[in-house]
Structure 1
Amino acid sequence: MIFAVTCVSNDTIYCGKIIKSFNTIGTLLSSVILFKEPLLVNVTVEQDCMLGEIDCVEDINLIGNARPGSMVLLADEKGVERYYQQPLAKQFYTNLPEYDDVDIKVRFPIRSNYWFQGDPLPTYNSTQNLDFLQLALREIVRALGFHSSWGTWFKDQTIIVPRPLCDDGNGECSIKGRKVHKKWIGFREYIFDKYLMNLYTGEMLTDKTRDLNKFFETKNIKGRIRNLEKEFKTSTQYNIAKEMYELSTTNSTIGFFSWNDIDYKDILVLLTNISPFNDDVNLKFVDDILYYNTSDFLMRYRLPFGEILQNEIINGGNYDNSTNSTDSILYGSIGPKLMRVFETIGYATIDKPIADYKPTIPPPLPPFTESNSLGNSLYSLSSITFYQICLLLITVVYEIYLLKL
């Protein structure tokens, strides 16, 4: 992993600690994931001033985040299309048109309470210090693929669906955009969603997505997303979306079923006890309580105030006292269940160096057609041949010529 870090601060020591933290993250992740292609990570750390002023009051609610440069649709062995984060897609295809120049984009605000490796240890039970290394590592793991598409994509905040897919003919269709010349094709999961399970019934949630997509088999919906929502509310699939909302806001109901999980105790249980549904939280982290003081602590939603990464590893039983602290952090931060998540979605790791399958590039969408009228003509512009266009132009020119006589 190659980190390009921009730290907007006059405190060179502070910025040096930021850079060192990301270099440690790169070493850590590269020690467990066998990246086939080097990943470029663009990091910006600066004051998050809402009005663009030079100095502003620090907002304790601003944490920071990392996101993939792009999302790429790929198909599995059954032809089902799902979105892959660019860092993951690059493990299969070095170069695709959808790729951004940067694989992961990271942004964090400057905070006075970050704790860095090498700083004096925080006081016992301190609620102020926030281990920057642990926080940044967690966010980059999310950008690598630990992320669900299920969310409140519609104005109706009582239902959740996977990411809606639209087509505007140029491959850059915006879900929320105001452009009306687009067609709605279906719902598309992220690859992470393929392996989510209802822990009450054992049903895979991808089956729910398949049922939701039956809505589009008899519909030809165009225009803004509100048109899609209006039609969807009158469908039988609407009840499925309601059911998914209830499931995703009930404690310990959904888990990630990895490639070698044998029974329920092996499944990674996701965070589902937040109500109302929060698009940034529900299904995006692991259960806070269940994974407290365990080796799979990293992806909890609870911020590690007053805790440092080394202590979290020790409390989880994954700390090797025979090595120095840096080595123990490298090999103790990624728990066994999180490692299996990486392997399941497609990364090669030191434990599983060969991926099970390679997703394929789906066929291109059929030519986009948007019915337009020309006078009282019933023809669609997309169906007019070059010959017909030429004939039409000749006719128009001839009619203008006659009018001038």
Structure 2
Amino acid sequence: MKNLSTTLFIILIGLCLTHTVSSEKCIQYLNPLNSKENRVFDCLMASPAQKRQLPTPPASDNMFNVQFNCLVNDKALCSKVENVFVTAGRFITATLNLKAVISVNATFLNFCEVNIAPGIDCNNPNKVILGAAGPAMVIPYKDETADKVRLYPQALYKQLGLPSHPQFGPNEIMAVFNSAANYWFEGDPLPMPERQADMLLVVTHELIHGLGFTTAWDDLFGINALTPVIAGITDDDASSKAPGGVIPKEPNAPAGSSLQFLELIFDKFMILTADGIQMTTQTDELNKFQIDVQNIKSEEQLVQAFMASPQYKVAQGLFQKATTSGSMGFKTISGDVVILETSLLPFQSSSSIGHVDFATYKNSSDFLMVFRSPTATLGQMMATAGSIDTYGPIGPLLRGILQSMGYEIKDKYVPPVELPSAKFPNKEPFAIKPVPDDVNEGTNNKKMSNNGRINSPIGINVLIIALACILVTLFM
């Protein structure tokens, strides 16, 4: 939320020997604030002895198992934040009929002290990154009805209950939150001061991103061209990125091998609202771009080759639509079209597409996944929307999105907790406007984003050191 990312943060620990190797690609992300820092590798199938034993949920009303790591010297604050994750997990569990536990690795630390986001003015209260969260791994799964492989967040993949599956990582969702940000907690004084954020609303929003409310479509090369994620050109080196710097080759890639654009399961349901064209058909069009990966020496060479291809014009046209209000939507299996956020100029990787349209849904029961955070509590937002006893924080359209992706929705919603702040509704939660120079910046602390644009190889190394105490064995 407010610059929270749904791109994942995962620390690569290592790979175990396996009996079966899949030719499909899995993707792990190395930096929650930059989706370009990812690792593409062959999925390694789990043997019977390596099948992961699922942890027992802490309570029947909470299917989220949270490993919380607090790296600040304030036990009271640490306790407050940890309790928020429990409450958020209960709200989501009250909505989704989860078949497998969702493991979350959450860390609370000062971003400025570990230099996770260099270039940000830590002394400017109008430019505070709250954190980052997202799927800890995405796994390819073939949609037999469409004969197409898409990437599934591990949290959703586990719900499928498949007898054979790739080796899972230790967590479904990774999250880091900035202890230097100004958070409000249930029980704090009301009204909420300007530029504070309700931690519960922040965490709930980000956990939904971690479950898979995120898109692969982005301007990957910064050339005003929208494409899904690229796979098929990187090797098994943990430091490799796709794209970024020199493009490493797959060791056994034959001459003539080409790259591939891959969608996330979310993208299967995306449409162009003007004519109802599915975005997946645009992926098919982009995949007509062919280049021999053995001849790629650098990202620049790849970019130049793409810009010289007919597919570049397709990607340019999609980029323009991504900055045209109301041009893209998510069509649920029930036929509802949820308008996605495409009104931001210029295009913002930290906010565009990966949220619902702000103007349409900010005052509705589907407020949770707008890109800006309100100056209101989660309880107040539900009270204003009239959803306390009907939908809770997860509105009917968001439920439709999650169900379309593959999650099962419970027949009846029973509020898991009572939020006292709901008794004091805030009728104008978005009355405070962003400061002028932050209106379209991903670093505005009144925004929620699903992937930042901060490139920080040094910062991520420092963070890895800071989080060394939380490493766990990758495979059980």
| Bin of the TM-score, shorter chain as denominator length | 0.7 to 0.9
2-structure distance, mates of 1:214, 1:129 = 47
Q: Which amino acid aligns with 2:216?
A: S
Contact 1:166 1:174 in 2 (8 A): no
Contact 1:122 1:129 in 2 (8 A): no
Alpha-carbon offset, residue 49 of structure 1: 1.9
1-structure distance, mates of 2:179, 2:164 = 34
Structure 2 counterpart of 1:206, from 264, 280, 284: 280
For 1:292-321, what per-residue CA distance to the aligned partner results, in whole angstroms no more than 9, with x for missing partners?
A: 2110000011112x201111111112123x
1:49 maps to which residue?
112
TM score, norm. by length of structure 2: 0.65
1:233 aligned onto 2:300: no
2-structure distance, mates of 1:179, 1:211 = 23
- Larger-gyration structure (1/2): 1
1:161 maps to which residue?
227
Structure 2 counterpart of 1:196, from 258, 270, 279: 270
Summarize the Cα distance change of 1:76–1:9 in structure 2 as closer, same or farther, 3 Å threshold.
same
Summarize the Cα distance change of 1:94–1:57 in structure 2 as closer, same or farther, 3 Å threshold.
farther
Structure 2 counterpart of 1:82, from 125, 150, 153: 150
2:404 maps to which residue?
344
Q: Which amino acid aligns with 1:259?
A: I
Contact 2:182 2:196 in 1 (8 A): yes
RMSD: 2.3
Contact 1:184 1:228 in 2 (8 A): no
> Structure 1 stretch 278-287 or stretch 8-17: which is displaced more?
8-17
For 1:33-77, what per-residue CA distance to the aligned partner results, in whole angstroms no more than 9, with x for missing partners?
A: 122211110110011125669xx7576421112111111111112
2:363 maps to which residue?
293
Q: Which amino acid aligns with 1:140?
A: L
1-structure distance, mates of 2:89, 2:148 = 32
TM score, norm. by length of structure 1: 0.76
Alpha-carbon offset, residue 170 of structure 1: 4.5
2-structure distance, mates of 1:101, 1:58 = 36
Summarize the Cα distance change of 1:32–1:254 in structure 2 as closer, same or farther, 3 Å threshold.
same
Contact 1:221 1:227 in 2 (8 A): no
Q: Which amino acid aligns with 2:339?
A: V
Q: Which amino acid aligns with 1:346?
A: G
> Structure 1 stretch 334-343 or stretch 103-112: which is displaced more?
103-112
Secondary structure of the equivalent of 2:366?
A: coil
Alpha-carbon offset, residue 282 of structure 1: 0.9
Contact 1:255 1:267 in 2 (8 A): yes
Summarize the Cα distance change of 1:94–1:10 in structure 2 as closer, same or farther, 3 Å threshold.
farther
Structure 1 counterpart of 2:344, from 264, 274, 279: 274
Structure 2 counterpart of 1:147, from 205, 214, 229: 214
**Greater RCO, CA 8 A, separation 6+:** 2
Q: Which amino acid aligns with 2:342?
A: T
2:28 maps to which residue?
none
Alpha-carbon offset, residue 236 of structure 1: 1.2
1:220 maps to which residue?
292
Secondary structure of the equivalent of 2:151?
A: strand
Summarize the Cα distance change of 1:66–1:20 in structure 2 as closer, same or farther, 3 Å threshold.
same
Alpha-carbon offset, residue 128 of structure 1: 3.2
Alpha-carbon offset, residue 95 of structure 1: 7.2
Q: Which amino acid aligns with 2:386?
A: G
2-structure distance, mates of 1:107, 1:116 = 18
2:442 maps to which residue?
none
Q: Which amino acid aligns with 1:260?
A: S
1:116 maps to which residue?
185
2-structure distance, mates of 1:112, 1:151 = 27
1:38 aligned onto 2:98: no
1-structure distance, mates of 2:258, 2:90 = 42
Contact 1:72 1:98 in 2 (8 A): no
1-structure distance, mates of 2:124, 2:107 = 17
Summarize the Cα distance change of 1:154–1:241 in structure 2 as closer, same or farther, 3 Å threshold.
same
1-structure distance, mates of 2:181, 2:111 = 13
Q: Which runs of 5+ in 1 are unaligned?
A: 321-327, 353-405
2-structure distance, mates of 1:94, 1:40 = 20
Contact 1:287 1:300 in 2 (8 A): yes
Contact 1:164 1:184 in 2 (8 A): no
Q: Which amino acid aligns with 1:79?
A: D
For 1:252-308, what per-residue CA distance to the aligned partner results, in whole angstroms no more than 9, with x for missing partners?
A: 1111000002xxxx311110011222222110111111112110000011112x201
1:21 aligned onto 2:84: yes
1:244 aligned onto 2:313: no
2-structure distance, mates of 1:116, 1:76 = 42
**Higher helix proportion (structure 1 or 2):** 1
Summarize the Cα distance change of 1:58–1:26 in structure 2 as closer, same or farther, 3 Å threshold.
farther
1-structure distance, mates of 2:78, 2:318 = 44
Secondary structure of the equivalent of 1:107?
A: strand
1:386 maps to which residue?
none
Identical-residue share of aligned pairs (%): 30
Secondary structure of the equivalent of 1:44?
A: strand
2-structure distance, mates of 1:167, 1:236 = 21
Aligned residues: 331
Q: Which amino acid aligns with 2:94?
A: S
1:70 maps to which residue?
137
